[in-house]
Amino acid sequence: METYRTHYSKDVTKDYFGKNITVAGWVEDIRNIGSLAFVILRDRLGTLQITAFKKKHPELFDMLVNITRESVISVYGFCKQSDKARNGYEIIPEEVKILSLAETPLPLGVVDKVESELDTRLDNRFIDLRKPELQALFKIRNEIISSVHNYLRSENFIEVHTPKIIASSSEGGTDVFRLKYFEREAFLAQSPQLYKQTLMATGLDRVYEIAWYFRAEEHNTRRHLNESTAIDVEMAFIKNEEDVMKILENLVYNMWKKASECKEELTILKREINLPNLPFIRLTYDEVLKLLNKNGYDVKWGDDLTTEQEKILGDIMQKKGHEFYFITKYPLESKPFYTMPDGEKLSRGFDLECKGMELSSGSQRIHDKELLEKRMKACGLDAAQFESYLKAFRYGIPPHGGFGFGIERFIMELLDIQNVRECILFPRDRNRLTP
């Protein structure tokens, strides 16, 4: 064998029938029926069947039937057409190399019918991620991210990468991870907010980033992570937040549509995806309160919606035929300091919700330095701590706005996943720092 693999399982076509090829992967299952053995080999694209005959190669046969499950092997052999075998072919082995022998017992099964606890799975994530349904999930995630790049670039956005070690809080709150930065204190960025706004002063007037969020919130729920990923967008020369919302809803539509095209992965996950209708309905904060009050929830004006209230609102909207909906005109006091006011009490901030789950938060931003400093003071922030950020507002910056859009929460809603930890490779939460 010249290489350990020349073909993936799904790449083998009828052109290779009757020829010798090399395949490689993990041993998923072994069936020994005496003179004949079937070994199921798994690779990134699927599985294939190795059929070994004891009489033809007794030593090779004994090696295959005694190898441990999840060991990694490379097999050189004859590719034979077979209507009974998966993929329409089987490999009759001529040579087998054991590349890595798996210990036994396994900490958890890959194709076993008995499901392990989530903590056990996450403790052994390298094996958990071998499962076909998780492979399908992350393949869909990959396609979704691809659609993000394609859509935003078609709208003249350019991709940027901003610092993740910063001198002041991104959002002005207290839920930050502090770290020692030589002789000074620094923070892990809660979002790229300050930097993407600063870029609006450079002439790079449409930017986006596949960003990391670090938030020291002590939540321990199925939809919270302390390290997560998001799509962050900022755009200049806008009239108001509606310009931003149009980009967001079209982005979501393109992501949803791209996922719907992943037919094989959706089949593995047993999911169906129906495309949402555009435009998404807009509800003002006041309209939301009226809907909730009609359903027995007395929400005080100015309060954030609780998780239960968000869920009830999602149920109400689904009955009206709307899975996606914007909530607009939030009270100014509930929004970050950089959110543009709309009068004395309201803001030009919005959230995008899906079936009762907040996926995105955005707004038109303040581009007037004096107003920005006034809002900082109102929010109890020291403007001196944001001097490098405020400097960008002194020398010409256009009206602008943007949003952050959580990737893991989007995948939760898209694929009906019950815990956000399943939607990121190696989750970080209140209690988990490894693997």
The string of pLDDT tens digits covering residues 326-353 is 999 999 999 999 999 999 999 999 999 9
153 a catalytic residue: no
Side chain identity, residue 396: G
Residue in 217, 242, 323, 373 annotated catalytic:
217
What is the per-residue pLDDT for 167? 86
Rounded distance between C-alpha atoms, residue 188 and residue 213, angstroms: 8
| 59 phi, psi to nearest 5 deg | -70, -40
70 a catalytic residue: no
224 a catalytic residue: yes
Predicted confidence band of residue 226 (pLDDT cuts 50, 70, 90) = very high
Q: Cα 210 to the chain's mean position, in Å?
A: 10
Rounded distance between C-alpha atoms, residue 336 and residue 380, angstroms: 11
Residue in 57, 141, 322, 409 annotated catalytic:
409
Residue in 358, 373, 430, 432 annotated catalytic:
358
State the Rg of the chain over Cα.
Answer: 27
Side chain identity, residue 356: G
Structure tokens at 177: 């991870």
Rounded distance between C-alpha atoms, residue 390 and residue 367, angstroms: 10
Residue in 361, 365, 400, 413 annotated catalytic:
361
The string of pLDDT tens digits covering residues 61-85 is 999 999 999 999 999 999 999 999 9
Rounded distance between C-alpha atoms, residue 242 and residue 282, angstroms: 10
- Judge contact between 34 and 74, C-beta under 8 A: no
pLDDT at 1 over 60: no
Helix H, strand E, coil C: the string for 69-128 is CCCEEEEEEEEEECCCCHHHEEEEEEEEEEEECCCCCCCCCCCCCCCCCHHHHHHCHHHH
361 a catalytic residue: yes
Residue in 57, 141, 206, 223 annotated catalytic:
223
- What's the mean pLDDT when you consider all of the chain? 95
Predicted confidence band of residue 86 (pLDDT cuts 50, 70, 90) = confident
Residue in 130, 149, 224, 432 annotated catalytic:
224
100 a catalytic residue: no
Rounded distance between C-alpha atoms, residue 43 and residue 120, angstroms: 23
Show me where the domains of the chain are located: 9-100, 127-423
CB atoms within 10 A of CB 303: 11
Q: Lowest mean pLDDT of 21-25, 26-30, 222-226, name the range.
A: 222-226
215 a catalytic residue: yes
- Distance of CA 320 to CAs 273, 290, 329, Å? 19, 15, 21
Residue in 42, 141, 215, 322 annotated catalytic:
215
The string of pLDDT tens digits covering residues 289-311 is 999 999 888 888 988 898 899 99
Domain 9-100 shares a fold with domain 127-423: no
What is the per-residue pLDDT for 16? 95
pLDDT at 7 over 60: yes
> Which CATH number among 3.30.465.10, 3.40.50.620, 3.30.2130.10, 3.30.930.10 corresponds to the domain 127-423?
3.30.930.10
Kindly give the residue spans of alpha helices, DSSP state H, lying in 281-396: 285-294, 307-319, 369-378, 387-391
Burial of 410 (0-12, 13-18, 19+ CB in 10 A): buried
Rounded distance between C-alpha atoms, residue 166 and residue 177, angstroms: 11
Residue bearing tokens 């029926």: 33
The string of pLDDT tens digits covering residues 136-157 is 999 999 999 999 999 999 999 9
- Judge contact between 363 and 340, C-beta under 8 A: yes
The CATH topology of domain 9-100 is OB fold (Dihydrolipoamide Acetyltransferase, E2P) (2.40.50)
- Please tell me whether residue 325 adopts helix, strand or coil conformation: strand
What is the per-residue pLDDT for 172? 63
DSSP 378-431: HTT--GGGGHHHHHTTSS----EEEEEEEHHHHHHHHHT-S-GGGGSSS-B-SS
What is the per-residue pLDDT for 2? 63
